[in-house]
Amino acid sequence: MMKQLTKFILIFIILGVVIIKYFSGDIILIINENIQYIKNVQSKDPYFVETIFFIVYIIMTSLSLPVALILGILSGILFDPINAIIIISLASSIGASFALIISRYFFRDYLLEKYKDQYETINHGFIRHGGYYLFALRMVPLFPYFIINFISGLTTIRVNMFFIVSLLGMLPMTIIIIMIGNNLGEIILNDDSVNFNLIILLSIFGILPLTSKIFFKKYFG
């Protein structure tokens, strides 16, 4: 359900940009002006916007708010792709680690009751495969990320291992989402048409979870 919702959101974003571009020039101009304003602020103080974005992303992830996809695309629009990848990768992993700590020390009993079935599945995978299982979960969206964060806090996995494995496991999808945002930025800011790169990236965005799921079932099923 969560995977389908995520794809629908992304599709609506793409369609929205295309529709706005061709049928409502005033709206696309407003979006363009706001992005240009942020970029102007960034040009005067290169680290200000990145720092604010980094902090907001950590807070949102720590609270398990479903904004990762939107912020990931926005980072691709606003920032240089390399900077965006560094910001999102670190912020998402730090935020996920905070969510783990929160669940481990403050909401353990509540989460054990609420996510009993998911806990048994994930904990069994951790016992059998350790960090490899977490890496696979990050690559394959069998569970929403916030559930993985919370339930990992109920296990004995170390926070430093959780951080490193999460960072590496989420990296491929992070890169794809940021590059989608980068291409959308070209459409919005430069009045370009939907390009071949964007189509390829969207295809990978849809195919990668499916191919990863086959790998997951083969080695961890």
pLDDT tens-place string over residues 126-143? 888 878 888 888 877 666
Burial call 188-211: b when 16+ CB within 10 Å, e when fewer: beeeeebeeebeebbebbeebbee
Answer yes or no: is pLDDT of 149 > 70: yes
pLDDT tens-place string over residues 1-29? 444 445 444 544 554 454 444 444 444 55
pLDDT tens-place string over residues 68-92? 778 888 888 888 889 999 999 999 9
Higher-scoring residue by pLDDT: 30, 56: 56
Task: Give the model's pLDDT for residue 45.
Answer: 75
Answer yes or no: is pLDDT of 59 > 70: yes
Q: Mean pLDDT over all residues of the chain?
A: 76
Confidence of residue 34 (pLDDT cuts 50, 70, 90): low
Q: What are phi and psi of 175, to 5 degrees?
A: -60, -45
Task: Give the tokens for residue 146.
Answer: 């916030």
Task: Give the model's pLDDT for residue 191.
Answer: 61
Region 31-59 average pLDDT: 77
Domain of residue 185: give its range. Answer: 2-220
What are the C-alpha distances in Å from 50 to residues 35, 95, 97, 105, 173? 14, 16, 20, 30, 20
pLDDT tens-place string over residues 185-219? 777 666 655 566 767 767 666 666 666 666 666 55
Percentage of the chain exceeding pLDDT 70: 66
> What's the structural domain count of the chain?
1
Region 49-62 average pLDDT: 88
Task: Give the model's pLDDT for residue 86.
Answer: 94
Question: End-to-end CA distance of the chain, in Å?
Answer: 20
Higher-scoring residue by pLDDT: 160, 31: 160
User: 184, exposed or middle or buried, with CB in 10 Å at 0-12, 13-18, 19+?
Assistant: buried
Confidence of residue 121 (pLDDT cuts 50, 70, 90): confident
Task: Tell me the C-alpha distance between 192 and 99, whole Å.
Answer: 39
